[in-house]
Structure 1
Amino acid sequence: MIPVRGFEGAKIAVLGLGRSGLATAKALEAGGAEALCWDDGAEARARAEAAGLTLHDLTRREAFQGVAALITSPGIPHLYPTTNPHIARAYAEGIPVDNDIGLFFASFGAGDWITFDEPPRVVAVTGSNGKSTTSALIHHVLSEAGKPVQLAGNIGRGVLDIDPPVNGEIVVLELSSYQTELARALTPDVAVFTNLSPDHLDRHGGPGGYFAAKRRLFAEGGPDRAVIGVDEPEGLFLAGQLAEGPGDDRVIRVSVEQKLSGPGWLVFARKGFLSESRKGRQVGSIDLRDIKGLPGAHNHQNACAAYAVCRTLGLSPKVIEAGFQSYPGLPHRSQIIAEKDGVTFVNDSKATNVDAALMALLAFRNIRWIVGGLQKDGGLEGLSEGLGHVAKAYVIGREAEAFARDLGDVEAEVCTTMETAVARAMAEAQPGDTVLLAPAAASFDQYDNFEKRGEDFMACVKAAL
């Protein structure tokens, strides 16, 4: 646990008692604060009370009297589409609002660092797609290289729930826009921007607000090194804002769509080969084509970002390549779950938006595509580049018929349920085909989350094999 500093003896309200909220309350109390906990859900309140935490009803008129700050869980809207009423009251009464990420960065360096020969460092990864894989890949490579490392944030443990760092340790954080947009402190040593595509637009008031939430990770604290994906205009803009000139190696530009050139620090992948260039000279390369845990161009982008981070942390290209080779992949992200009679089964349930699904379609050929769910803003037009890889689509979800119509000329069968879709895809699959779950949609019409959807897919495949 990372004890929260700066609130000794103060009353701090904690709103939202999920994983991060419970960890936040305990970390506040470990730092000497009095945590006053609330959640509008009775079940969450009961869990907190059973854990020995103090409940404090924020709906009462005098609820914020004597409260020094409100710490809110990232999933609770603090501005768009509408401000949560408890947060709105805190604003009205002049009470600072923060989240666990802000508390983490304000408290992380307050331990026994004066005794460390090599201070611990924080790597923070954000972006629309690939941040989980990039974070997990960095963690894996560092761990395989024998470095002390922890993985937390939007993946793994809550940021305040990690162990106090040891000498030279690296903490790798995956941070969503929900986490970066409100944090009052953001000071990573290395910050990564993978890419940007439309997502969570209602929460951020549009694409500008969404990008602004990501950009805060770089603008608020000024990381020592920034790894920036430059295949979208926003990444180019961000890299341009951070660099003092073309040769500024504090900014490492990353691409999978173009061969980068110039005097700066560059990492790019073309036709499956990763290349690192500094001062106009190639200084490292890796053949990514046969690395099973990193299939497709989207994973090659993740590999480029992870490679760049590991190089800044002192690892050699050979050590990084060895870590890539042993990387098993993350569940629900281009995860090969079975192979039988020449047919490969891939679970990419995390492909909850069009851009992520497109990357999955481009990574494979002869696809029996299981798709559908709660469609997001923007429609499905962005999938057109990958549809030539699709032999047939098997559409799931409560609105499967409407979803199928939006697929245009792709042959599509309305299946509605995962069990039916898997059965139909397996019945029609030929050797060389890939049965791919890449929904291009949210899961909430049928499942609690994308993990449950992916688990259902794996269970259906296992039962049918």
Structure 2
Amino acid sequence: MIPVTGYEGRVVGVLGLGRSGLAAARALEAGGARVLCWDDGEAARTRAEAQFFEIADLSRDGAWEAGLALLVVSPGIPALYPAPHPAVEQARARGVPVDNDVGLLFRALAASDFDDFDTPPRVVCVTGSNGKSTTTALIGHILETAHVPCQVGGNIGKGVLALDPIHDGDVLVLELSSYQIETARSLAPDVAVFLNLSDDHLDRHGGRGGYFAAKARLFELGAPERAVIGLDEPEGRALADRLRGRGMEGESPVVAISASRKLPDHEPAVTARKGFLAERRGGRQTASADLREMETLKGAHNHQNACAAWAACRALGLAPKVIEAGMRTFPGLAHRMERVAEREGVSFVNDSKATNADAAEKALLSYDRIRWIAGGVPKAGGIESLRPLFDRVACAYLIGEAAEDFAQTLGEIPHEFCGDLDSAVERAWAASGAGETILLSPACASFDQYPNFEARGDAFRARARRIAGLPEEDAPEAEAGAGPASETGSDQETTP
């Protein structure tokens, strides 16, 4: 845990008692604050009470009579769109600042004394619509293989304040969603990565412009020394343009990355074309790596992730050969194109983390003959954008709330209504043949049937392993409160 100081003897409200909320409450108490906790879900409040946290309804006037100095909001809770939570309205009406765990982390780091450290801690933050988790995990893996002390957290793994106390030379690698960035009052990464932008969570941000603005805060408020920017979308190119010339003595902090475009020679760049990664500086190639045999980094989307991780690790001072060696041993990410079983030439692939169409597109592009399990809580636009890939689908097995809408979009493409995931897996297996892939890539959130995408992926993995005759294995331990058990307790399950 990283204690949060500056509120000794003062009262702080924590709204939302999922993973990040409980970690923030502990960190504030460790720093000497009195913490009042609230969650709209009774189960989340009961869990918090069992851990001896003080519960008070922060949406009501009575709780505010304690004289709150700060309101800390968990990422899943809207602070503005589509409507502010009543507790947030209370804070703003009373002139009480609203912050989140990410803002508190950077404030804690700024207040810490690292004069005795030979190497001060550094922070790498990764954001974007798709690929954040893979890129964050890949950076962490490369650092570990290079024997650089690091911790990985944020929107993946531990909440940022649940990380271990900072030690000499530590690097914090944080995946940050737009939800986490938009509310943070302090942002100060040493290296920040922007991968891409696609339509997602637009109701939360008041449209695509608000969504991009939330992401851009990491770079404009945070002012990183190095900004690794994906230039494959217009927003990335616009962000890079804003940042150029903002470095020391007018030097641009931008390192451009792309898996599809030829980039100008006047600034540092890392690109991937035809399976080869190339780093360029001063108009000439300075390093390269062959990505073609890296099984866990297949596909153009993963090549973009590899470029981003390479650029971030180079900014931290790692040598090209060290980075390449780390990439070659990267085990991949659970729930992201994770091959979990095989039987009679049929592969079972868990891509439960694909909670929107753009993410599902990456998986559909990676296999030729697919028995596709899709559905859940639909996102805006549904699967319309995936029409060009329907010829890869032998049959779609539809589950959850989105089934009817997805069926209309699929039209004459073979599809079946399965209701739940277990039925979909069994029916896909019964119809499959050698060389086919049974792919869970839902293009939807899981909240209609599962608390989070991890639970959905674990259920798929367990069913696939039973079909393949493999022994049961322990599912990865779920983070407490990580799903939407309540309105305010949910740390978002997807990758906004």
- Which category of TM-score, normalised to the shorter sequence, fits these structures? over 0.9
Q: Contact (CA 8 Å) 1:295, 1:334: kept in 2 or not?
A: no
- The residue number in structure 2 matching 1:147 is 148
Is 1:336 the counterpart of 2:339? The answer is yes
- The residue number in structure 2 matching 1:258 is 261
Is 1:284 the counterpart of 2:287? The answer is yes
Aligned-residue identity in percent: 59
Alpha-carbon offset, residue 39 of structure 1: 2.0
Partner AA of 1:176 in structure 2: S
Deviates most, 390-399 or 292-301: 390-399
Partner AA of 1:275 in structure 2: A
Count of residue correspondences: 465
Partner AA of 1:148 in structure 2: P
Alpha-carbon offset, residue 420 of structure 1: 2.5
Q: Secondary structure at the match of 1:267?
A: strand
- The residue number in structure 1 matching 2:440 is 437
Runs of 4+ in 1 over 6 A off after TM superposition: none
Q: Secondary structure at the match of 1:386?
A: helix
Partner AA of 1:17 in structure 2: L
Deviates most, 114-123 or 22-31: 22-31
Alpha-carbon offset, residue 452 of structure 1: 1.6
Partner AA of 2:42 in structure 1: A
Q: Secondary structure at the match of 1:113?
A: coil
- The residue number in structure 2 matching 1:51 is 51
- Structure 1 distance, partners of 2:387, 2:297, is 23
Alpha-carbon offset, residue 418 of structure 1: 1.8
Change (3 A) 1:152 1:245: closer
Q: Contact (CA 8 Å) 1:358, 1:385: kept in 2 or not?
A: no
Alpha-carbon offset, residue 264 of structure 1: 0.9
- The residue number in structure 1 matching 2:163 is 162
For structure 1, the 5+ residue unaligned runs are: none
Alpha-carbon offset, residue 21 of structure 1: 1.3
Is 1:384 the counterpart of 2:387? The answer is yes
- The residue number in structure 2 matching 1:84 is 85
- Structure 2 distance, partners of 1:376, 1:59, is 29
Q: Contact (CA 8 Å) 2:335, 2:353: kept in 1 or not?
A: yes
Deviates most, 416-425 or 230-239: 416-425
Partner AA of 2:406 in structure 1: F
Q: Secondary structure at the match of 1:26?
A: helix
Match runs of 1:117-266 below 5 Å: 117-244=118-245, 248=251, 250-266=253-269
Q: Contact (CA 8 Å) 1:259, 1:270: kept in 2 or not?
A: no
Partner AA of 1:158 in structure 2: G
- Structure 2 distance, partners of 1:50, 1:445, is 28
- The residue number in structure 2 matching 1:320 is 323
- Structure 2 distance, partners of 1:49, 1:39, is 11
Q: Deviations over 1:204-260 (max 9, x none)?
A: 111111111111000102000001111111000001110129995521111111232
Deviates most, 17-26 or 82-91: 17-26
Is 1:395 the counterpart of 2:398? The answer is yes
Alpha-carbon offset, residue 409 of structure 1: 4.2
- The residue number in structure 2 matching 1:40 is 40
Alpha-carbon offset, residue 64 of structure 1: 1.7
- Structure 1 distance, partners of 2:169, 2:190, is 13
Q: Secondary structure at the match of 1:339?
A: strand
- Structure 1 distance, partners of 2:151, 2:213, is 27
Q: CA RMSD in A?
A: 1.8
Is 1:359 the counterpart of 2:371? The answer is no
- Structure 1 distance, partners of 2:330, 2:149, is 17
TM-score, reference length from structure 2? 0.90
Deviates most, 78-87 or 394-403: 394-403
- The residue number in structure 2 matching 1:24 is 24
- The residue number in structure 2 matching 1:458 is 461
- Structure 1 distance, partners of 2:54, 2:342, is 51
Q: Secondary structure at the match of 1:261?
A: coil
Q: Secondary structure at the match of 1:181?
A: helix
Q: Deviations over 1:85-119 (max 9, x none)?
A: 11101101111111111110011243340101110
Q: Secondary structure at the match of 1:195?
A: coil
- The residue number in structure 1 matching 2:489 is none
Q: Contact (CA 8 Å) 1:396, 1:418: kept in 2 or not?
A: yes
- The residue number in structure 2 matching 1:296 is 299
Q: Secondary structure at the match of 2:29?
A: helix
Deviates most, 378-387 or 86-95: 378-387
- Structure 2 distance, partners of 1:73, 1:171, is 20
- Structure 2 distance, partners of 1:375, 1:268, is 33
- The residue number in structure 1 matching 2:478 is none
Alpha-carbon offset, residue 5 of structure 1: 2.3
Q: Deviations over 1:47-99 (max 9, x none)?
A: 22221222233244242232111111111111111111111011011111111
- Structure 1 distance, partners of 2:381, 2:408, is 15
- Structure 2 distance, partners of 1:398, 1:264, is 47
Change (3 A) 1:398 1:183: closer
Q: Secondary structure at the match of 1:63?
A: helix
Partner AA of 2:80 in structure 1: L
- The residue number in structure 1 matching 2:473 is none
- Structure 1 distance, partners of 2:437, 2:202, is 32
- Structure 1 distance, partners of 2:40, 2:236, is 38
Partner AA of 1:301 in structure 2: Q
Change (3 A) 1:84 1:301: same
Change (3 A) 1:124 1:428: same
Q: Deviations over 1:269-292 (max 9, x none)?
A: 112211111111111111112212
Alpha-carbon offset, residue 379 of structure 1: 2.9
Change (3 A) 1:88 1:258: same
Q: Secondary structure at the match of 2:45?
A: helix
Deviates most, 204-213 or 404-413: 404-413
Q: Contact (CA 8 Å) 1:337, 1:458: kept in 2 or not?
A: yes
Alpha-carbon offset, residue 464 of structure 1: 1.4
Q: Contact (CA 8 Å) 2:340, 2:349: kept in 1 or not?
A: yes
Q: Contact (CA 8 Å) 2:143, 2:149: kept in 1 or not?
A: yes
Change (3 A) 1:248 1:269: farther
Say which structure, 1 or 2, has more relative contact order (CA 8 Å, 6+ apart). Answer: 2
Alpha-carbon offset, residue 293 of structure 1: 1.5
Change (3 A) 1:409 1:319: farther
Alpha-carbon offset, residue 199 of structure 1: 0.7
Change (3 A) 1:280 1:59: closer
- Structure 2 distance, partners of 1:148, 1:84, is 39
- Structure 2 distance, partners of 1:2, 1:440, is 36
Q: Contact (CA 8 Å) 2:378, 2:401: kept in 1 or not?
A: no
Q: Secondary structure at the match of 1:262?
A: coil
Alpha-carbon offset, residue 399 of structure 1: 4.4
Change (3 A) 1:89 1:49: same
Partner AA of 2:56 in structure 1: H
Q: Contact (CA 8 Å) 1:418, 1:460: kept in 2 or not?
A: no
Partner AA of 2:425 in structure 1: V
